[in-house]
């Protein structure tokens, strides 16, 4: 089963719902968007015997009985929106009619109160019981922790937007699970930390930084109770961005001085919000938020007047923050390859970043970090799934595309012995999403 068709369908459903919410039905683009959605629904249901059922259970999405781990995370917000509209399952029967597609989108967008019944798309007629679906959940722990952390961030951001108070209970609880999962499955966690989202960049970025910080702190020998305090700070480090206008955050070019001044306030804003929410003993998270853009040499922002080094946690989060930010595509620049991001860290070691943490980070992720896409001399494209720096000279990889250019639906383990790497490519350049391969390659199923 390919998760690709389901993801394409969900992406189109998300777009179509937006389109119908923002524009009138006779808008020139609406017909096109709905036609594309119908094509995707057909593609999903064409080869199946009978119907295809997408079920939403908690934060998990299933295609028939199979968990779609990556899509569950990628479309986490859409799934929530659908659930809030009362949708628990959507059944598609080939060929899907255009009228039914419209009904589905109108219902999902909250424009119609009717649940379409008896057509080629039906709601809440899923034939699977809860236990039939849950039994399939193999890598649930890690992915669920990730999804819960996203939820906590959404909740905190919402509370701050409406000037409501919050406490750190949710964040503490979410990071406890992340710490446990990251320590138990480091390679799968690092692979999951390559998840990207354009729409909710800050939230996904924050969870990734949290995972990377936990893994790095572990390597640095931090005891578990301190790991949890660090992880709360890492998860909330950018929460002050709630106070920055979206148009500034997503500005696709060079920022003007006013925009830049606005961005530079997010460490203070975040620290103040965390401090107001923190119980005694939790204040260190505010320090992390306050200092994460201060440089190792004391420059950066905000300008720190106190006569001490930045806190170890802040220096650690700054390293993970830079790595994840650089490997993510933004509206104003392309994504860097993991290897290039490591070079940037190395170049800034001693000025921007704590050199001992940069070296520890490189040791942790390896020269070719988990999730790296490598072009080999024979033309093959492989993805790094684990770094065995001590056990072997070569990382574990899976073959994603053969030398003849054929893409493998389920990547296969591949030996790097005797092969040479000619290039490292970005996920966008290769048209591949490393985190999406987490489930299909069987990683994280421990």
What is the binding site for Fe ion (CB under 5 A)?
238
268 contacts 240 by C-beta, under 8 angstroms: yes
- Report the distance separating Cα 272 and Cα 294, nearest Å: 16
Q: Which is nearer to Fe ion, 1 or 325 (CB)?
A: 325
Q: Which is nearer to Fe ion, 236 or 364 (CB)?
A: 236
Half-sphere exposure of 47 (CA within 13 A, CB side): 6
Q: C-beta of 352: minimal distance to Fe ion in Å?
A: 13
Q: C-beta of 202: minimal distance to Fe ion in Å?
A: 9
Q: C-beta of 293: minimal distance to Fe ion in Å?
A: 6
Q: Which is nearer to Fe ion, 238 or 354 (CB)?
A: 238
Q: C-beta of 263: minimal distance to Fe ion in Å?
A: 8
Question: Cβ–Cβ contacts within 10 Å for residue 111, how many?
Answer: 13
Q: Which is nearer to Fe ion, 122 or 292 (CB)?
A: 292
Q: Which is nearer to Fe ion, 172 or 314 (CB)?
A: 314
Q: C-beta of 292: minimal distance to Fe ion in Å?
A: 6
- Report the distance separating Cα 21 and Cα 131, nearest Å: 35
Question: Cβ–Cβ contacts within 10 Å for residue 37, how many?
Answer: 26
User: Please, which residues have CB within 8 angstroms of residue 419's CB and are 6 or more apart in sequence?
Assistant: 376, 377, 378, 380
3-state secondary structure of 341: helix
Q: C-beta of 93: minimal distance to Fe ion in Å?
A: 47
- Residue showing the smallest CB distance to Fe ion in the complex: 238
Q: Which is nearer to Fe ion, 128 or 301 (CB)?
A: 301
Q: Which is nearer to Fe ion, 354 or 433 (CB)?
A: 354
Triad 8, 13, 19: Cα angle to 5°: 125
Q: C-beta of 317: minimal distance to Fe ion in Å?
A: 9
DSSP letters spanning 397-415 = EEEEE-TTSPEEEEEEEE-
The residue written with tokens 């790097």 in the block is 416
363 contacts 388 by C-beta, under 8 angstroms: no
Radius of gyration of the chain (CA): 23
């Amino acid at each position: 089963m390919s998760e690709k068709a389901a993801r394409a369908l969900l992406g189109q459903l998300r777009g179509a719902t937006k389109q119908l919410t923002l524009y009138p039905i006779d808008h020139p683009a609406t017909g096109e968007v709905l036609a594309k959605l119908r094509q995707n629904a057909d593609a999903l249901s064409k080869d199946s015997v009978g119907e295809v059922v997408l079920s939403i259970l908690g934060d998990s999405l299933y295609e028939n009985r199979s968990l779609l781990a990556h899509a569950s995370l990628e479309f986490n917000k859409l799934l929530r929106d659908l659930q809030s509209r009362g949708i628990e399952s959507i059944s598609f029967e080939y060929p899907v009619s255009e009228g039914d597609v419209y009904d589905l989108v109108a219902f999902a967008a909250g424009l119609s109160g009717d649940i379409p019944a008896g057509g080629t798309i039906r709601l809440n007629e899923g034939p699977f019981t809860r236990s039939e679906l849950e039994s399939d959940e193999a890598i649930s722990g890690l992915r669920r922790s990730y999804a819960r952390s996203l939820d906590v961030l959404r909740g905190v951001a919402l509370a701050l937007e409406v000037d409501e108070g919050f406490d750190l209970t949710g964040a503490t609880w979410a990071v406890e699970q992340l710490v446990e999962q990251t320590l138990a499955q480091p390679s799968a966690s690092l692979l999951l930390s390559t998840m990207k989202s354009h729409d909710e960049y800050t939230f996904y970025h924050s969870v990734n930084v949290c995972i990377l910080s936990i893994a790095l702190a572990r390597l640095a020998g931090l005891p578990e109770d301190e790991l949890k305090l660090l992880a709360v700070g890492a998860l909330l480090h950018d929460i002050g961005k709630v106070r920055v206008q979206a148009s500034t955050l997503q500005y696709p070019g060079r920022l003007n001085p006013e925009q830049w001044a606005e961005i530079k306030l997010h460490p203070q804003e975040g620290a103040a919000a965390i401090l107001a929410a923190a119980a005694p003993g939790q204040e260190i998270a505010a320090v992390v938020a306050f200092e994460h853009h201060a440089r190792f040499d004391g420059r950066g922002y905000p300008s720190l007047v106190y006569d001490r080094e930045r806190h170890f946690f802040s220096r650690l989060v700054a390293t993970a923050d830079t790595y994840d930010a650089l490997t993510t595509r933004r509206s104003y620049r392309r994504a860097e390859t993991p290897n290039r991001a490591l070079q940037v860290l190395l170049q800034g070691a001693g000025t921007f970043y704590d050199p001992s943490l940069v070296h520890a980070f490189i040791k942790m992720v390896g020269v070719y970090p988990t999730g790296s896409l490598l072009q080999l001399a024979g033309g093959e494209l492989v993805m790094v799934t684990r770094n065995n720096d001590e056990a072997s000279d070569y990382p574990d990889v899976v073959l994603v595309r053969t030398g003849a250019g054929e893409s493998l639906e389920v990547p296969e383990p591949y030996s790097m012995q005797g092969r040479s790497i000619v290039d490292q490519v970005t996920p966008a350049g290769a048209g591949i999403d490393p985190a999406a391969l987490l489930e299909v390659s069987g990683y994280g199923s421990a």
